[in-house]
């Protein structure tokens, strides 16, 4: 079953790359339509690929260099090379993420590396971190976090509720951050207080400078954090003697494409304050201060390896 999904995702990525290349003929469009119509999974994956296309709108056009005015053989050769490269990123997303439709159709969402801030109709301030999605229903006084991370500042006493798969967070006259992970939902109170209600168990009143994780089985241990420390809301990633592997996993959330590193680098330590608006520069700074090398096959495919000692 997994191999079938793999082939469908690869096919959708290649069809997308073909259309983006500008080399698609009328016959190509007809074959694409036939492929989409032949199976419900084909059409579903194609729709996801179309939405994914928007998230990778900044991929350089050089990834699809074939043009109609070249001789057929040259055009096909260039197109083949373009397909080989351009299909990598969309296929990786289609296969690795398989985002549910509700995420693609959310009221508000951000692409990888994007942050968004807006004022809601009731005066509340909403910030979305990288690769995040939320639905907003002010009539019901609730926001539904579908993916990623959000921050919400509610200036008045009228309560807003943040719904997550693991419970809800009720906020008024407070500033909170909520991050949805694979197996839990982390809730942090930057100022004021927040009422946290897990799916099962008693409600908890969370104070400023405290954070917990909502889990399937209830509420995790109460932890303290520095509410004054800059973070993603200010476009900053801070590390204090942090294992490099953990730092890179967090950095990769803000970076489109593939970022990989060899296991030997996991335990190196990193300390510093890094701007998230230029992750290439962050990697360059790491290479300047740690025994690592940055190997780039493209802007969207980067691998970190141990630096070789030159005799």
Q: pLDDT: is 220 or 52 the higher one?
A: 220
The pLDDT assigned to 104 comes to: 63
Residues forming a β-bridge with 242: 270
Residue 112: pLDDT over 60: yes
- Mean pLDDT is lowest, of 57-71, 124-138, 195-209, 237-251, for 57-71
What are the tens digits of pLDDT across the range 138-173? 999 999 999 999 999 999 889 999 999 999 999 999
Residue 213: pLDDT over 60: yes
Largest CA distance in the chain: 70
What are the tens digits of pLDDT across the range 35-79? 888 887 787 777 777 666 655 554 444 433 333 234 444 444 444
The pLDDT assigned to 156 comes to: 87
Q: How much of the chain exceeds pLDDT 70, in percent?
A: 79
Residue 286: pLDDT over 60: yes
Contact 186, 166 (CB under 8 A): no
Residue 233: pLDDT over 60: yes
The pLDDT assigned to 52 comes to: 62
Q: pLDDT: is 50 or 276 the higher one?
A: 276
Could you tell me which residues come within 8 angstroms of residue 150 by beta carbon, excluding any fewer than 6 positions away?
A: 126, 127, 128, 129, 132, 134, 143, 162, 177, 178
The per-residue b/e assignment along 76-103, b for 16 or more CB within 10 angstroms, e otherwise, is eebbeebbebbbbbbbbbbeeeebeeeb
The pLDDT assigned to 227 comes to: 87
What are the tens digits of pLDDT across the range 10-41? 777 778 777 776 777 888 888 888 888 888 77
Distance CA 166, CA 200 (A): 9
Residue 85: pLDDT over 50: no
Helix axes 26-38, 40-55, angle to 10 degrees: 120
* Residue-averaged pLDDT of the chain: 82
């Amino acid at each position: 079953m997994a191999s079938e999904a793999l082939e469908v995702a690869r096919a959708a990525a290649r069809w997308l790359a073909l259309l983006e290349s500008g080399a698609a003929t009328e016959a190509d469009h007809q074959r694409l339509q036939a492929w989409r119509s032949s199976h419900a999974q084909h059409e579903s994956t194609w729709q996801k690929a179309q939405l994914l296309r928007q998230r990778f709108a900044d991929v350089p056009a050089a990834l699809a260099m074939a043009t109609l005015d070249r001789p057929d053989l040259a055009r096909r050769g260039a197109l083949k090379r373009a397909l080989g490269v351009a299909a990598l990123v969309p296929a990786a997303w289609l296969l690795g993420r398989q985002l549910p439709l509700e995420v693609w159709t959310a009221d508000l969402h951000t692409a990888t590396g994007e942050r968004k801030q807006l004022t809601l109709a009731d005066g509340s301030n909403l910030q979305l971190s990288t690769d995040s999605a939320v639905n907003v229903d002010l009539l019901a006084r609730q926001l539904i976090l579908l993916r990623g991370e959000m921050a919400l500042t509610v200036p008045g006493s009228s309560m807003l509720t943040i719904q997550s798969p693991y419970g809800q967070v009720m906020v008024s006259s407070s500033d909170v951050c909520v991050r949805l992970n694979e197996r839990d939902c982390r809730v942090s109170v930057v100022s004021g207080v927040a009422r946290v209600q897990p799916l099962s168990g008693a409600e908890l009143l969370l104070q400023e400078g405290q954070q917990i994780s909502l889990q399937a089985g209830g509420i995790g241990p109460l932890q303290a954090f520095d509410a004054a420390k800059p973070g993603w809301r200010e476009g900053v990633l801070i590390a204090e003697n942090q294992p490099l592997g953990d730092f890179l996993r967090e950095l990769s959330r803000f970076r489109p494409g593939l970022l990989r590193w060899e296991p030997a680098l996991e335990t190196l330590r990193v300390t510093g304050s890094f701007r998230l608006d230029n992750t290439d520069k962050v990697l360059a700074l790491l290479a300047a201060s740690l025994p690592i090398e940055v190997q780039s096959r493209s802007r969207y495919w980067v691998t970190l390896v141990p630096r070789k000692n030159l005799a």
